[in-house]
């Protein structure tokens, strides 16, 4: 006899899959309810030893919220006992594992002050410092947490100089320090961006002085020179000479440190304009006839108007030309006197 195999059609298979899925959901629901029921009973029980044991089991299983709830229940019971530091440590660590660094930081800070001789204190101080590290925001935001992280990490390394975590923490210090450099750089550059060149010069110089090892140092020095130049070229006539001198000082500061700087072409142009202005100023001063508006640097980078160019064209170009003009005036006056006689 031949065996006959019945092959279920597509609809039968779909029905079987739906039935299996419903059974699976039902089983999971039963297990969940029974688990919740058991957990709730445990919370309401007075079996503190079992609560503590289960809290550690939940911690190892990554169920940190349940760990926290159980440990909060037993904390008053174990305060002042040999188990107090364990309860406090696992509770703080559970918050840390959940990413609640504000709460864990407060708990770890209390822990290290209260349980200085605990075998958990080194780990507690490590996570206390790392919590600030993880809380450090982007460079364009407030850097209070960054500064706290640097303090906490350095304190940890001072206490535990041979820690196996030393290399990782040193990398963290470099990263956090660069973030502070970035913050100061962005703040200072903002004044330049919005055209407040006088404030920009002050802020940029402060940034260089505060963090001389900043990776932005070359650009900061360039921006000091550029801001000084733009401040001078947009100043009133009686302020321009001193400000163009400051521009030259800033120019030489950049070139002394970075002779091959990528900003060299633009910096040389600013230097040339500043020197041309100062040469003209000195020529006019020697001729004792400098007038406001007579002196303008040739080829300013910006804010150069046609009227300023016209004034520059009318200004005497040299002492020789000025003396010739004065001689002609004197001859004219002499001829006029003879005619009157």
Q: List domains and CATH numbers for the chain.
A: 195-317 (1.25.40.10)
pLDDT at 296: 56
Around Cβ 61, how many Cβ atoms within 10 Å?
A: 10
Express each pLDDT in 286-336 by its tens digit.
665 545 455 555 555 544 333 333 344 444 444 445 445 555 555 554 444
pLDDT at 206: 97
pLDDT bin (cut points 50, 70, 90) of residue 282 is confident
pLDDT at 314: 40
User: What is the mean predicted confidence (pLDDT) over 3-11?
Assistant: 53
Q: Say if CB 292 and CB 237 are below 8 A apart.
A: yes
Burial category of 234 from C-beta neighbours within 10 Å (exposed 0-12, middle 13-18, buried 19 and up) = middle
Distance of alpha carbon 42 from alpha carbon 50, whole angstroms: 8
**Tokens standing for 187?**
């703040």
Q: Say if CB 230 and CB 196 are below 8 A apart.
A: no
User: What is the mean predicted confidence (pLDDT) over 116-144?
Assistant: 97
**Tokens standing for 232?**
């001078």
Distance of alpha carbon 181 from alpha carbon 160, whole angstroms: 27
| pLDDT over 80 (residue 104) | yes
Around Cβ 219, how many Cβ atoms within 10 Å?
A: 19
Q: Say if CB 51 and CB 74 are below 8 A apart.
A: yes
Distance of alpha carbon 279 from alpha carbon 317, whole angstroms: 10
pLDDT bin (cut points 50, 70, 90) of residue 91 is very high
Looking up tokens 């004034």 gives 311
| pLDDT over 80 (residue 18) | no
What is 76-139 written as a DSSP string?
A: HHHTTSTTHHHHHHHHHHHHHHTT-HHHHHHHHHHHHHH-TT-TTHHHHHHHHHHHHHHH---T
């Amino acid at each position: 006899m031949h065996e006959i195999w019945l092959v279920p059609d597509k609809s039968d298979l779909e029905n079987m899959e739906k039935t299996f899925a419903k059974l699976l959901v039902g089983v999971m629901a039963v297990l969940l309810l029974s688990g919740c029921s058991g957990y709730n009973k445990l919370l309401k029980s007075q079996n503190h030893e079992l609560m503590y044991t289960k809290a550690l089991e939940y911690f190892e299983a990554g169920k940190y919220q349940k760990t926290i709830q159980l440990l909060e229940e037993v904390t008053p019971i174990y305060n002042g006992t040999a188990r107090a530091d364990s309860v406090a440590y696992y509770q703080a660590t559970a918050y840390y594992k959940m990413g609640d660094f504000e709460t864990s930081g407060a708990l770890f800070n209390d822990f290290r002050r209260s349980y200085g001789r605990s075998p958990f204190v080194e780990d507690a101080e490590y996570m206390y410092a790392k919590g600030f590290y993880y809380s450090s925001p982007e460079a364009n935001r407030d850097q209070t947490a960054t500064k706290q992280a640097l303090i906490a990490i350095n304190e940890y390394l001072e206490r535990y100089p041979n820690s196996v975590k030393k290399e990782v923490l040193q990398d963290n210090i470099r990263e956090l320090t660069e973030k502070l450099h970035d913050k100061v750089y962005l703040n200072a550059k903002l004044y330049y961006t919005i055209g407040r060149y006088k404030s920009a010069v002050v802020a940029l110089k402060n940034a260089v002085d505060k963090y001389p090892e900043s990776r932005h140092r070359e650009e900061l020095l360039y921006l000091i020179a550029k801001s000084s130049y733009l401040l001078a070229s947009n100043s009133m006539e009686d302020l321009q000479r001193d400000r163009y001198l400051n521009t030259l000082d800033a120019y030489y500061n950049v070139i002394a440190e970075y002779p091959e700087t990528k900003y060299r072409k633009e910096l040389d142009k600013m230097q040339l304009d500043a020197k041309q202005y100062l040469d003209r100023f000195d020529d006019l001063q020697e001729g004792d006839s400098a007038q406001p508006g007579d002196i303008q640097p040739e080829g300013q980078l910006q804010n150069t108007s046609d009227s300023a160019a016209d004034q520059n064209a009318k200004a005497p170009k040299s002492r020789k030309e000025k003396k010739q003009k004065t001689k002609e005036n004197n001859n004219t006056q002499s001829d006029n006197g003879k005619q009157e006689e």
